Amino acid sequence: MSGKNYVHGYTEREAERLRDQAETLTELLHGDTRYPAGSRVLEAGCGTGAQTVILARNSPEARITSIDISEASLVEARKRVLAEGLTNVTFEAGNIFDLPYEPGSFDHIFLCFVLEHLAEPRRALKRLRPLLREGGTITVIEGDHGSAYFYPDSPCARRAIGCLVDLQREMGGNALIGRELYPLVTGAGYRDVSVSPRMVYADASRPDLVHGFTRLTFTAMVEGVGDDAVGRGMMSREEWELGVADLYRTAGPDGVFCYTFFKATGRK
């Protein structure tokens, strides 16, 4: 995955969206990942560090190595970790398919929102496995845009989400990867694989989630690929805008929005 092929782009608004998402979802996705003191953790594909700061905060005495292929992202990630006063993270530039570490270098490997961008996610998991010590664990978190449904339902909104899925596929990624984690992690040779879905359910009784997730995370992400989708003729501008408006509509007082992340763990 090279910088220019990252479907969401690297704009300032995107960085903000990623921060909002990380805060809203921190407990849901990361609450049960705590690595012991002294353990060596590899975060493969740290991006701009949105998950890194959570990982480092939740496991303050673990020694975390966070790698990413994008130097620009690493600059941002280093700033974030510094700003949080965290000192247990080392950043290194590297390709997930060709990392320079000795076999058995890590007790745990962690990937969050990475496999969705790779054309060969199973191969990535296979390449990472030797880096784990025997009995070491892997943890993988991914979303699944096909898990999004909402009230009021809207064909235009569904088509807009479909554009995001199609754009990600064109770039070699898979926005429906969440549901596939069990066969992927199992097929890459890990044992004791367990997948736990983490559903986000947002209605008016949970205004923070409606704002943080329905509006700022999901709908903003869809909105962000509008020019691409319309420019390629996937939808007309009018239909696109209707679809995005209908997604915002699900954040209204009688709206409901559902989305599911998947968290897989396995062992070498």
**Cα(138)–Cα(42) distance, integer angstroms:** 9
Dihedrals phi, psi of 142, to nearest 5 degrees: -145, 155
Q: Least distance to its own copies from the beta carbon of 32, Å?
A: 16
Query: Are 234 and 166 within 8 A, CB to CB?
Result: yes
**Cα(206)–Cα(63) distance, integer angstroms:** 36
E runs forming strands in the chain = 40-44, 63-68, 89-93, 106-112, 132-142, 149-151, 191-203, 256-267
- Which amino acid appears at position 139 of this protein? T
Site string for its own copies, 116-155 (x = CB under 8 A): ----------------------------x-xx-xxx-x--
Which of 225, 266, 262, 268 minimizes the C-alpha distance to 29? 262
In this complex, which beta carbon is closest to its own copies, that of residue 40 or of residue 249? 249
Based on the shown chain and the rule CB under 8 A, indicate whether residue 194 belongs to the binding site for its own copies: yes
Q: Least distance to its own copies from the beta carbon of 85, Å?
A: 37
**Cα(259)–Cα(172) distance, integer angstroms:** 23
In this complex, which beta carbon is closest to its own copies, that of residue 39 or of residue 186? 186
Q: Least distance to its own copies from the beta carbon of 84, Å?
A: 32
Treating both helix axes as pointing N-terminal to C-terminal, what angle do 12-30 and 50-58 enclose, rounded to 10 degrees? 30
- Which residues inside 149-188 make contact with its own copies, applying CB under 8 A? 149-151, 153, 176, 179-180, 182-183, 186-187
With CB under 8 A as the contact rule, which of the stretches 51-59, 221-229, 231-239, 250-258 interacts with its own copies? 250-258
Based on the shown chain and the rule CB under 8 A, indicate whether residue 245 belongs to the binding site for its own copies: no
Based on the shown chain and the rule CB under 8 A, indicate whether residue 260 belongs to the binding site for its own copies: yes
Q: Least distance to its own copies from the beta carbon of 143, Å?
A: 13
Q: Using the rule CB under 8 A, which residue among 204, 207, 227, 238 binds its own copies?
A: 204
Query: How is residue 36 annotated by DSSP?
Result: P
Contacting residues toward its own copies, per CB under 8 A: 144, 146-147, 149-151, 153, 176, 179-180, 182-183, 186-187, 193-197, 199, 201, 203-205, 254-256, 258, 260
